[in-house]
Chain A
Amino acid sequence: MSFLNNVITGISLGSIYAIIALGYTMVYGIAKMLNFAHGDVIMVGAYVCFFATGSFGLHPVAGVLLAMVVCTILGTVIEGLAYKPLRQAPSLAVLITAIGVSWFLQNSAQLLWGAAPKVFTPVVSGGLSIFGGQLNISYVTILTVVSCLVIMVLLSAFIGKGKMGKAMRACSEDKGAAQLMGINVNSTISMTFAIGSALAAIAGVLMCSAYPTLMPTTGSLPGIKAFTAAVFGGIGSVPGAFVGGLLLGIIEIFAKAYISTDLSDAIVFLALIIVLLVKPSGLLGKYVPEKV
């Protein structure tokens, strides 16, 4: 039974990684940049939900929605202020700016809300107990997995069909040509950031419901791991982020359960290194030869 329990915990953690990884992979796919501040947007989303439900007594659903709105605005503002002026700059400059934004968010959070950890109240409590109490599945776990699936289906539909999705794929391939086809590249990129940040808010709330310690650095390690998941699955690929996230979560929980709690992160990254050695573009990524 403990094996099954571990699988379920792994899928649940993996679903959170997958939702975060979607934000990384979409932004990378379209803007060709690594938004290292993405993990900290998760943290902001969790804080917003924490205060909305805790201090203002809002219903958890309203708290999540508020967090999504705040993060969407935050993501768009970050993109407009920090990344948009660097659209023509070398990618290294954008990367360093992203790290700067990440530090800025962490320190602002510390200034505003203090460094002391807060105990996050899960948005749903309780759970299912089956096989006479041998297998416990919390409602948070179910909610996390269901949310992840729903998000995947909606996002695939959005990108695969419809006008904005086509505009996104066009921008991802060739921004110049997309512009000449009448596509507003700037608003397409802003849209991508908005969607990624709204997903980050959901991920933040789900993550803090499962692991209820909330502090300004809460988002950074999951952010890095979700980035790993995105690379694992093939960065730029939406199904890749999903597969990468799930696998990473399962590997992490299994490593914790059967090998060593201390070594679990090392094992996760070892798996990443092995995948990249065998398939440098990630599991579902496509190898794109550099044009000369």
Chain B
Amino acid sequence: MSKQYPKPKLVPVPSTNIIPERDVDKSPILECRHLGIDFGGLSAVSDFNMAIGRTEIAGLIGPNGAGKTTVFNLLTKVYQPTRGTILLDGKDTHSMTTAQVNRAGIARTFQNIRLFSKLSVEDNVKIGLHNQATYPMWSGIFRLPSYWHKEKVAHEMALELLSIFDMQDLADHQAGSLPYGAQRRLEIVRALATGPSLLLLDEPAAGMNPSETAELMDNIVKIRDTFQIAIMLIEHDMNLVMGICEGICVLNFGKIIAKGTPAEIQANPAVIEAYLGKKKEA
């Protein structure tokens, strides 16, 4: 463990949700109510209720196949939920497409890296910045002044974002040629470039060694502090989850089995049972 982060007090908000005390006077950035999806006859996620504070770092954990990534896919509308509502900043995302949800403020990374690997590092970030660039397409072909200006701004923004992870020197490299850890970091930068108010990280520390993980933890907190956004992460590395998450939600077989602060989760018998199996009755 590199360093300890202050643990906030979690307070209940309407329904069964909890968010950090400092965010409570503002409405939550994300609220899921009775969210669920069926694949054929199988209920992959059901009755998922969760709220995330505006500057909260929230964790979503659970054994393999518990439905964690499915929740991310529901939030980003890769899947259309069968039941329930998702409120992003108070707005129902029911009729939005994936691209519209992104523009409304949810960005994500992937469990298995999905960079645009043939493009340069800078272009990957610029695709994230896509939403902000608004010059007409003709000015791009004929390189009109407005194009140069916007491209210059985009270039500077891209380098600034890359500098979060000290990657500005890699801007001209092909994304697919980067080492694994750098690709994971680039995915986070690309997601940040879309200007999210909620960043979803799907196993950001997968495949990282302990020192890389410690650095990543610092960076996740730094991103939250700099951009003042909410971050929700799926992670199997318990040091990371317990170290930086303020509220944790535990999923098993598509249902929430526990919610609370890291300390509460660690002491929760249902969680211990889900991860380690049931204690044999004597």
Contacts and interface: CB of A to CB of B under 8 A. Distances in A.
Nearest to B106: A180
A170 B151 CA distance: 17
Contacts of B126: 166
Interface string A168-200: 011001101111111111000000000000000
B194 interface: yes
Contacts of A183: 99, 127, 130
B238 to A, nearest CB: 27
Contacts of A167: 127, 130
A179 B99 contact: yes
Interface stretch (A16-24, A97-105, A133-141, A157-165): A157-165
A277 interface: no
B245 to A, nearest CB: 23
A81 interface: no
A111 interface: no
B78 A176 contact: yes
Contacts of A174: 114, 116
Nearest to B119: A169
A176 B115 CA distance: 11
B184 interface: no
Interface in B99-145: 99, 102-103, 107-108, 110, 114-119, 123, 126-128, 130-131, 133, 135, 137, 140-141, 143
Given A158-B137, A161-B140, A170-B127, A179 B110 contact: no
Nearest to B140: A162
Contacts of B103: 182
Given A154-B141, A164-B140, A180 B130 contact: no
Interface residues of A, number: 25
Contact of A179 (B97, B115, B190): B97
A181 B123 contact: no
Contacts, number: 86
A169 B115 CA distance: 12
B137 A162 contact: yes
Interface residues of B, number: 33
A176 B127 contact: no
Contact of A181 (B128, B133, B137): B128
Contact of B114 (A162, A165, A176): A176
A154 to B, nearest CB: 6
A166 B123 contact: yes
Nearest to B78: A176
Interface in B137-191: 137, 140-141, 143, 147, 151, 190-191
A181 B102 contact: yes
A169 B116 CA distance: 8
B140 A178 contact: no
A182 B135 CA distance: 16
A182 B141 contact: no
Contacts of A169: 116, 118-119, 123
Contacts of A184: 97, 99
B148 to A, nearest CB: 10
B70 interface: no
Nearest to A288: B118
Contact of A158 (B115, B133, B140, B191): B140
Given A173-B119, A180-B76, A185 B99 contact: yes
B98 interface: yes
Closest 6 CB pairs of A and B: A162-B140, A182-B102, A179-B98, A177-B114, A173-B116, A182-B131
Given A169-B118, A181-B127, 14 more contacts: A157-B141, A158-B140, A158-B141, A165-B140, A167-B130, A169-B119, A176-B78, A177-B116, A179-B97, A180-B107, A181-B128, A181-B130, A182-B194, A183-B99
29 contacts: A158-B137, A161-B140, A161-B151, A162-B141, A163-B130, A163-B137, A164-B140, A165-B140, A166-B119, A166-B126, A166-B127, A169-B116, A169-B119, A169-B123, A170-B127, A177-B114, A178-B116, A178-B127, A179-B99, A180-B76, A180-B99, A180-B107, A181-B130, A181-B190, A181-B191, A182-B128, A184-B97, A185-B99, A286-B118
